[in-house]
Amino acid sequence: TLQLRRSPGEVCFPGGKSEATDKDDIATALREAKEEVGLQPERVEVICRLMPGIDKMNNLVTPVVGFIEDTFQATPNPDEVSEVFVVPLEYFVKPVKYKSFSYKTSSGYLTRIHCFTYDDQEHKRSFKIWGLTAHFAVFLALVIFGERPTFEVDYDLDNLMSSSENNFISLYASVCDRKRSNL
């Protein structure tokens, strides 16, 4: 929603900070999905965690991937979510509307930002999906479909997992170096 303190009005997956009662990243993800869109944890078949990312506030973000029934009807928490929509995963390897730009993080790491515009026929409007949300969606689509996207990515597509790890290690190292230099 527009009322959020951080990233108001932006498209994102359900998620948030872990709480002391959360056993692990999976418990955090399931709790947040329940709080934000009414997804009951028992209705999720958790498959895996993906390589973490680092958001613009230098927080570590670990995506959790799971299957849910296609009959799930979201009940958005109006304090956090204004709309829920569905995008076919294939859109993140074969988009209709796409652009990218280079971005230097606060730690000096140069990366590519993916920006998708998805025209949702059901809601009769367009949604802009970019940043870390787009990054995770692209990576998941690359893993699932195993095909080259119609745009450039910062991965070695023949060694997707190891290049993902290397990219994360480089990003994490740049954040750590920046923190050390500010001490």
pLDDT tens for residues 17-61? Answer: 999 999 999 999 999 999 999 999 999 999 999 999 998 888 899
Sheet strands side by side (includes 125-130): 97-104, 110-120, 125-130
Start and end residues for every CATH 3.90.79.10 domain found in the chain: 1-84
| Cα diameter, the chain | 51
Q: Is 48 exposed, middle or buried (0-12, 13-18, 19+ CB in 10 A)?
A: exposed
Provide the pLDDT for residue 183.
59
Please say whether the beta carbons of 64 and 26 come within 8 A: yes
Please check the confidence at residue 178 and state whether its pLDDT lies above 80.
Answer: no
Q: Is 138 exposed, middle or buried (0-12, 13-18, 19+ CB in 10 A)?
A: buried
What's the CATH number of domain 1-84, 3.90.79.10, 3.30.830.10, 3.30.365.10, 3.20.20.70?
Answer: 3.90.79.10
Question: Distance of CA 153 to CAs 19, 96, 112, 113, Å?
Answer: 34, 16, 8, 9
Provide the pLDDT for residue 58.
86
The residue that leads in pLDDT, 178 or 27, is 27
Look up residue 64 and give its two tokens. Answer: 């959790």
Question: In this structure, is the dihedral angle defined by the CA atoms of residues 66, 27, 34 and 76, taken in order, positive or negative?
Answer: negative
What sections of 109-159 are H helices per DSSP? Answer: 131-145
Provide the pLDDT for residue 38.
98
Nearest to 62 by CA among 97, 10, 27: 27
Q: What is the pTM of this model?
A: 0.92
What sections of the chain are H helices per DSSP? Answer: 25-37, 131-145, 160-181
- Mean pLDDT along residues 126-143: 97
* 106 pLDDT tier (thresholds 50, 70, 90): confident
